[in-house]
């Protein structure tokens, strides 16, 4: 399996994390895994909503040090 596509949106506020994720998602191959790093708490709402809109699956949301939220997203095949 290919390495996940890393989308680093740390330090950006809504809507930038979701916009960066959208751009990476559009360029990704079907079935690709994307990892979004965000520090904006609104991403907890925006990212699952975006995933629902495009048919992607949020595999996991984890909190990391420094207020970073890590989202693992799977693009539909």
Q: How far apart are CA 43 and CA 28, in angstroms?
A: 20
pLDDT in tens, 11-41: 999 999 999 999 999 999 999 999 999 999 9
Provide the whole-model pTM: 0.95
pLDDT in tens, 34-75: 999 999 999 999 999 999 999 999 999 999 999 999 999 999
pLDDT of residue 2: 81
pLDDT of residue 9: 98
Could you tell me where the beta strands, DSSP code E, fall in the chain? 5-9, 33-38, 57-63, 69-74
Q: Is pLDDT of 1 > 70?
A: no
């Amino acid at each position: 399996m290919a390495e996940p596509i890393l989308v680093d949106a740390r330090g950006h506020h809504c809507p930038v994390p979701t916009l960066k994720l959208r751009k990476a998602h559009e360029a990704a191959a079907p079935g690709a895994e994307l990892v979004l790093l965000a520090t904006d708490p609104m991403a907890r709402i925006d990212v699952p909503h975006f995933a629902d809109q495009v048919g992607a699956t949020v595999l996991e949301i984890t909190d990391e040090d420094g207020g970073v939220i890590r989202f693992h997203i799977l693009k539909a095949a």
